[in-house]
Amino acid sequence: MEPAWNLRFDPEEVAQMKTRNRLTKADIEALPVGGMIFCTSATGFGVRRQGAGAPVFFLQYRNADGVRRKMTIGRFGDPWTLDEARKRAMALLAEVHVNKRDVAAEKRARRAAPTVADLCNEYLTAAEKGDVLKRGGKAKKASTIATDRSRIEAHIKPLLGKEKVQGVTSKDVQKFLREVAAGKTAKREKGDKPRVLHNIRGGKGAASRTVGLLGAIFEYAVKEGMRADNPVRG
C-alpha cells in the first residue's frame, strides 16, 4: 500500500521540482520563475515562484480520505520568513495528523462563508417576498422594509458588513451598539434628487433601534441554519 504521505505531482511540476534536506534562504532567492522546491524537514512544505513577484510558501498533504490538498501559507518576505513559514507548515501538519483536520478545506469554507452584508441582503429579499413576519404573524410593510434597508446601509453594513455571520459575537454587538450611539456612522450624503442631502444620525435611539433590527436579522440567520445562536440576544 502506498504511504499516505507519498504525494503524486503533475508531470510539469515534477519536471521543475527540486528537494532540499533543509531549505535555505539562498535556495529561495535563487529560485527561477516556474521553479519549485520542497523541504524535507516538513513533509509537503515547499516554495514556488510563479511569476515576477516573491516566491510563495505552500503545503501539500492528503486528508483522512486520501484526497490531496494544496494550501498557500504566504509570500516570502515580511511577515513570512522561511522559519515562520516552516513553523506554520509544521503546525498545520500536526492538525492534519493528530486532529484529523482538513485545514485547506476549512480555509476555503471560511472564505466562502456568508458575511453580515450577505445576510442583510438575503433578509431584505425575504422580507420583500413576505417571508419575514412581525410579531402577530403579519408581513412587513413596504415602508418598514425601506426603513430597515436605510438602517442596514447606514449602520450595519459599514460596521459589521465584512464580518462572517458565524464569527459575530455578543461583544461585537456591544461594540456596534456603542459605536452607533457615539455617532461613528453619522454622515451627510446626497439624495436621489438634486440639492437633496440626507443626514444619517447616530445616537442612543438610532443604536437601540438598529440593534433591534440586527437581532431580527440574526434570528432569520438561525432560522435558515446559518448559525446556531443569536448573538444579539441579551
Whole-angstrom Cα distance, residue 210 to residue 42? 50
Whole-angstrom Cα distance, residue 74 to residue 147? 43
Q: Which helix (H) or strand (E) holds 127?
A: helix 116-128
For residue 213, the one-letter residue type is L
Whole-angstrom Cα distance, residue 77 to residue 55? 9
pLDDT value, residue 218: 96
Closest CA to 14 of 29, 34, 30: 34
Whole-angstrom Cα distance, residue 70 to residue 59? 6
DSSP three-state, residue 109: helix
| pLDDT band at residue 81 using 50, 70 and 90 as cut-offs | very high
pLDDT value, residue 14: 43
Whole-angstrom Cα distance, residue 148 to residue 132? 12
Burial degree of 161 (CB within 10 A; 0-12, 13-18, 19+): middle
Over residues 186-214, the mean pLDDT reads 73
pLDDT value, residue 16: 44
pLDDT value, residue 3: 33
Whole-angstrom Cα distance, residue 209 to residue 177? 10
pLDDT value, residue 6: 36
Beta-bridge partner residues of 56: 48, 75
pLDDT value, residue 8: 42
Instruction: Answer yes or no: pTM beyond 0.85.
Output: no
Whole-angstrom Cα distance, residue 213 to residue 190? 24
- Using CA atoms, how far residue 50 sits from 17, 35, 43, 83, 103, in Å, is 13, 7, 21, 21, 23
pLDDT value, residue 149: 95
Instruction: Note whether 173 and 142 are within 8 A (CB).
Output: no
For residue 57, the one-letter residue type is F
Round the average pLDDT of the chain to a whole number and report it.
Answer: 86
Instruction: Note whether 147 and 117 are within 8 A (CB).
Output: no
Whole-angstrom Cα distance, residue 132 to residue 125? 9
Whole-angstrom Cα distance, residue 75 to residue 13? 19
Residue 36: is its pLDDT beyond 60?
A: yes
pLDDT value, residue 77: 92
Whole-angstrom Cα distance, residue 169 to residue 173? 7
